[in-house]
């Protein structure tokens, strides 16, 4: 989906944005069950998800509605980690 959003335009890109947003919000309750993805500990899954979630605004994807609170809380926890902040480029 990320590839479609970045390389397509018009309806195809918008459809991919909508699908990614809906799928993330559908699994959002998982992000409220533990500090990290289904765990008390930061894991490789979190390392995978962090860059994708970080790029959502750049891709034109806004998280609102059901599930957005849990997902945004998870994003804040991950994005505030020193290691994540150190990984960012200018």
Task: Quick: pLDDT tens for 20-76.
Answer: 999 999 999 999 999 999 999 999 999 999 999 999 999 999 998 888 899 999 999
pTM of the predicted structure, to 2 decimals: 0.84
Give the span between the Cα atoms of 32 and 15, in whole angstroms. Answer: 27
- At 88 the pLDDT is 85
Q: Residue 80 carries which DSSP code?
A: T
How confident is the model at residue 71, as a pLDDT?
94
Structure tokens at 73: 């809380």
Contact criterion met (CB below 8 Å) for 43 and 84: no
pLDDT of res. 90: 64
CATH of 2-87, one of 2.40.50.140, 3.60.60.10, 3.40.190.10, 1.20.1050.10: 1.20.1050.10
Residue of 35, 6, 43, 1 lying closest to 18 (CA atoms): 1
């Amino acid at each position: 989906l990320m590839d479609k959003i970045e390389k397509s335009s018009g309806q195809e890109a918008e459809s991919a944005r909508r699908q990614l947003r809906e799928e993330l919000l559908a699994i959002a309750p998982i992000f409220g069950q533990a500090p990290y993805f289904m765990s008390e500990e930061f894991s490789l899954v979190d390392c995978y998800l962090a860059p994708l979630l970080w790029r959502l605004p750049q891709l034109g994807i806004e998280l609102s509605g059901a599930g957005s609170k849990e997902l945004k809380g998870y994003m804040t926890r991950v994005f505030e980690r020193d290691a994540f902040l150190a990984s960012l480029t200018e």
